[in-house]
Copies of this chain bind each other. A is one copy, B any other.
Amino acid sequence: MKRTLENINYKEDTELLARFAKALGHPTRIAILKHLENQSCCFTGDLVDVLPLAQSTVSQHLKELKNAGLIQGELKPPKIKYCINQKNWERAKLLFETLFNYDLTNKKY
């Protein structure tokens, strides 16, 4: 963005939720996460086989999911085993639930 002289401070939860949402904001990354849910874990190569994208592109998507904290990689040389980061996955789940269930939780009484 341009001319952003001062940064905006949103609530921490808002920032975090947006971060998670942004990471989920690409069909390839949704597909990766769905695959990880099915397989529990998998190697980068498995995903390259499944997705119609170059290895470097898949690697980049994995990096973004990792940076957002949604997945984690474990070294199994020379491969890397990726799994969903359960702790942050639960965190994300709760943040989305809070957003979508606002009416039920806060407006009923």
Contact = CB atoms under 8 A, between A and B. Distances in A.
Interface of A: 6, 8, 10, 14-15, 17-18, 21-31, 33-34, 37, 51-53, 89, 92-93, 96-97, 99-103
12 contacts: A10-B30, A14-B27, A14-B34, A18-B26, A18-B27, A21-B25, A22-B22, A22-B26, A92-B100, A93-B100, A96-B96, A97-B100
Contacts of A18: 24-27, 29-30
Contacts of A52: 6, 8
Q: How many copies does the complex hold?
A: 2
Q: Is the contact region of chain A dominated by helix, strand, or loop, or is it mixed? A: helix
B8 A27 contact: yes
